[in-house]
Amino acid sequence: MEQAPELDASLVREVLAGNQASFQLLVERYQARLFGLTRHYTRNAVEIEDIVQDTFLKAYSRLPSFQHQSSFYTWLYRIATNTILDFLKRKGRSPIHAVEDPEAATLEAPGQGIVRPDARLEREEIVEITHEVLRELPEIFRTVLIMREFEDLAYQEIADTLGISIGTVESRLFRARARFKQKLIQMYPDFAQA
Amino acid sequence: MDCREARPLVPGYLDGELSEAQAAPLRKHLLACPGCRSITQAGKTIASWFVDEGPVEIPAGFAARVARRALAGDTGERWAAPLEADGDLGLRGFVLQLTAVAAALVIALSIGFRTMSLPRTDDLRADDFSLESALEALDEMNREPLGEPSTSKADESPELTEADEEGRRE
């Protein structure tokens, strides 16, 4: 998630000093990543734009409180994640909560395995299936899977963003992957390993 | 390294989170153990479902539009409650505030009155009642002959005396 922190820090200082054009530069630097992140949670283009816009507006209004303790993008990413989750909650689209203890990771081999996506599937089809399965997972599992598998965040970055320990990230990811496989097989039995 | 030690490390290994000191013995174990190798392969399979969607489409002029809104004072808190959003409390807010102030006043007054009616520390002191004075009172009682009513209280109370006299006249 490292994104030329020196340049970011310099742009942030310029914005705080009153250089308004620097804020537009910050938006241009990170808009693609935030649009990409947000589309993992909703496929509606208008909603994606609203969420990303609100994320940047919040960042601007909170910029004086940015302490440079993390990179600007880590800070921005945290605002984006909270904005997305708030949005989904208010839309009533995040009703699935884990019934079991999400941190109670078992170390046994998970149940039935899954196969790799069929070579005949188009990329768009794989994306659609994966998101369909993700939508069925409890929010905490979906969030860590998106952060790790799509966004390629390190455990420490996930921990910092969500305010949890690395041990919790590990156990939550373990559980999330097991649930993803289980749900994929349930929804698409053809992808179960023979 | 045996399977019990190896399996918890597999997810971190696949995610590139292990140090070389942890990864080296695990790699050695995986070469020798088909069971753990199979679990590791299964972990890789999941990753193959999370494919890159490709470039995202950004609406034209998005950054300039957001910058303009930010400079215009839009804080992006559109999901906050209306009362918090614009700082205008309105009639409902005013009534709520007034009620809160009145409630606080009533509570403060009731606590004040209750405190005033409670005995003060000085009222509860027993210093004046010494053993000596108690013994003196007992001696005086002993000196009085039995059967004769004490007049000491009546002397101290003029109202009682007048009432008694009136009673006698009647």
Q: How far is A33 from chain B (nearest CA, A)?
A: 8
Residue B42 has pLDDT above 60, yes or no: yes
Between chains, do B70 and A113 touch, taking CB under 8 Å as contact? no
Question: Which residue pairs, CB below 8 angstroms and at least 24 apart, start in A14-21?
Answer: A15/A60, A15/A63, A16/A63, A16/A64, A20/B67, A20/B71, A21/B67
pLDDT, mean of residues A81-98? 76
A112 or A125, higher pLDDT:
A125
* Nearest chain B residue to A149, by CA: B50
Task: Cite the beta strand spans of chain B per DSSP E.
Answer: none
Between chains, do B53 and A53 touch, taking CB under 8 Å as contact? no
Residue B79 forms contact with A (CB below 8 Å): yes
Instruction: Name the token pair of A158.
Output: 């996930």
Please report how the helices A45-62 and A20-38 are oriented relative to each other, as an axis angle in degrees rounded to 10.
Answer: 140
Decide if A58 contacts A86 (C-beta within 8 A): no
Residue B72 forms contact with A (CB below 8 Å): no
- Computed over every residue of chain A, the mean pLDDT equals 85
Q: How far is B29 from chain A (nearest CA, A)?
A: 16
Please report how the helices A5-16 and A20-38 are oriented relative to each other, as an axis angle in degrees rounded to 10.
Answer: 130
* Three-state SS at B49: coil
Between chains, do A20 and B67 touch, taking CB under 8 Å as contact? yes
Residue B70 forms contact with A (CB below 8 Å): yes
Q: Which among B12, B49, B70 has CB closest to A60? A: B70
Decide if B10 contacts A143 (C-beta within 8 A): no
Residue A82 forms contact with B (CB below 8 Å): no
List phi, psi (to 5°) of B49.
-85, -15
For position B162, what pLDDT does the model report?
Answer: 46
The A residues from 107 to 136 touching B (CB cutoff 8 Å) are: 107, 109-110, 113-117, 123, 126-127, 129-130
For position B56, what pLDDT does the model report?
Answer: 87
Instruction: Name the token pair of A126.
Output: 């794989």
For position B116, what pLDDT does the model report?
Answer: 73
Q: What is the pLDDT of residues A149-175, one digit of tens each?
A: 999 999 999 998 888 999 899 889 989
pLDDT, mean of residues B129-158? 59
| C-alpha separations of B47 from A38, A108, A149, B11 in Å | 20, 20, 7, 11
ipTM above 0.90, yes or no: no
For position A113, what pLDDT does the model report?
Answer: 76
Question: What is the secondary structure of A73-130 as a DSSP string?
Answer: HHHHHHHHHHHHHHHHHHTT------SS-TT----SPPSS-BPPPPTTS-HHHHHHHH
Q: Which among B51, B69, B76 has CB closest to A126? A: B51
Q: What is the pLDDT of residues B87-125, one digit of tens each?
A: 344 556 667 778 888 888 888 888 877 777 666 655 555
- Based on its alpha-carbon atoms, the radius of gyration of chain A, rounded to whole angstroms, reads 18
Q: What is the pLDDT of residues B114-124, one digit of tens each?
A: 777 666 655 55
* Residues with Cβ within 8 Å of residue A88, at least 6 apart in sequence: A41, A42, A94, A139
Provide the pLDDT confidence category of residue A52 given band limits of 50, 70 and 90.
very high
* Residues with Cβ within 8 Å of residue A50, at least 6 apart in sequence: A87, B78
For position A61, what pLDDT does the model report?
Answer: 92
Least reliable range by pLDDT among A63-67, A88-92, B22-26, B118-122 = B118-122
Between chains, do A20 and B71 touch, taking CB under 8 Å as contact? yes
A106 or A183, higher pLDDT:
A183
Residue A24 forms contact with B (CB below 8 Å): yes
CA separation for the pair B51, A32 (Å, rounded): 17
Domains and CATH numbers, chain A: 5-90 (1.10.1740.10), 123-191 (1.10.10.10)
Of A59, A61, A2, A62, whose CA–CA distance to A26 is shortest?
A: A59
Q: How far is B121 from chain A (nearest CA, A)?
A: 52
Residue A36 forms contact with B (CB below 8 Å): yes
Decide if A18 contacts A174 (C-beta within 8 A): no
Residue A141 forms contact with B (CB below 8 Å): no
| Chain B contact probe: residue of A14, A15, A25, A27 with most B CBs at under 10 A | A27
Residue B43 forms contact with A (CB below 8 Å): yes
* Residues of chain A found within 8 Å of residue B11, distances taken between Cβ atoms: 170, 173-174, 177
CA separation for the pair A77, A36 (Å, rounded): 12
Of A114, A163, A160, A162, whose CA–CA distance to A142 is shortest?
A: A162
Q: How far is B109 from chain A (nearest CA, A)?
A: 42
Please report how the helices A72-90 and A155-162 are oriented relative to each other, as an axis angle in degrees rounded to 10.
Answer: 60
Between chains, do A155 and B12 touch, taking CB under 8 Å as contact? yes
Residue B159 has pLDDT above 90, yes or no: no
